[in-house]
Amino acid sequence: MPASVVPIGARREGTYVLLATALPGRPSQTIGVFLMDPARDRAWVRFRSHYDELADPEDAEVLESLEDHIRTCVAEVGAGVYLSQLEDNLSNAVRVSERQSVAVDSFTRVLDRLYGENVEELDVKPYLTHLPLYSLRAAAGRLGEEMESQEEAWVRAPEGVRLGPDLFVAHVVGRSMEPRIPDGSLNLFRFHPAGSRQGKILLIQRFGAVDETARYTVKRYTSQKSYQGDEWRHERIRLEPLNPEFEAWDVEPQDFAVVAEWLRVIE
C-alpha cells in the first residue's frame, strides 16, 4: 500500500472565525471554529463537546447547545447572513474573532486543522475516525508526472461511511472529470474494487519507467469484450472523461492497472 505526500495547492478560498468564551471571573478560552465557503454560502462548524472545566454548570449547558444552534441558524438564513449577525450581536458569554481567509482543498479537512491548531488536539483513530491521505495526485485532466505514492496525513472520514483499510483519500487534479469531480478536490477511493469495472470511475495506474513510480489518472472505464475459444477477451478498453472538452483514449490491458474505485468527493 502506498506510504508520505507531495501536497498540491488548494483550489478554493474559505473564511473563518474563532469563537471564545468571555465568562466573568474566568480566563477566555477558544471553544470553536466557524468556517464558511463564501462562493456557495455554506458553513462548517466544530465546537468543544464538554465545558465542565471552563464554565459553571448553567453556562456550560448553554455553550454545549451552541453548535446545534448555529447549524440551525445557518440552515435558516445562510452562512454569510448568520456570520454577520453573529458579529453584530455578540453575547456576554461568547466573543468572535476577526474574519480570516484560508486556502481550502476540503472544508472538512481544513476545519479539523483549524480546530486542532486553535481549540484542542483532535483524537485521530486510524480507520475508525480517519483515513490516510496519499500523494497519488490522480490527474483528472491528463496522465500525471511520474512519482512515488506516499502518505501525508490522516483525514477525518465522511459521516456514514463504513471504514476499513481498503479506503483512502487523494487529490484529483485537472478538469476532465468536472463538474462531478472538481479540480483540486479531495476524494474518497477504495483499493482494488471487486466485480465489474464497466462504467465505474477508477483510479488508473499507468506503469512508469521504474517499478517504484507510476502515473495516475481518474477516468470512467468502459470495455468491449468478445468470446474467443473458452474465454472472454477485451476488444477495446477505453478511459473516458466526464468533461466534454476532453477526449477519451484506448489502452491495452498490459499497459495499466486499476488501483482503486472512486467513491465520492469529500467536501
For the segment(s) 130-266, the CATH number from 1.10.645.10, 2.10.109.10, 1.10.10.60, 1.10.3720.10 is: 2.10.109.10
Burial class of residue 203 in the structure, from the number of CB atoms within 10 Å of its CB (0-12 exposed, 13-18 middle, 19+ buried): buried
Give the tens place of pLDDT for each residue, 57-102.
888 888 999 999 999 999 999 999 999 999 988 767 889 999 999 9
Residue range 12-27, pLDDT digits in tens: 899 999 999 988 888 8
The C-alpha cell that represents 92 in the structure block:
456576554
Residue whose C-alpha cell is 472538452: 245
Residues of the chain with CATH 2.10.109.10: 130-266
DSSP state, 254?
G
Cβ neighbours of 256 (radius 10 Å):
19
pLDDT in tens, 211-249: 444 477 889 999 876 666 666 665 678 899 999 999 998
Q: How confident is the model over 125-132, as a mean pLDDT?
A: 91
Q: How many beta carbons lie within 10 A of that of residue 31, not counting itself?
A: 23
Please state, in angstroms and rounded to a whole number, the distance separating the CA atoms of residues 206 and 32: 44
Mean pLDDT of 43-67: 90
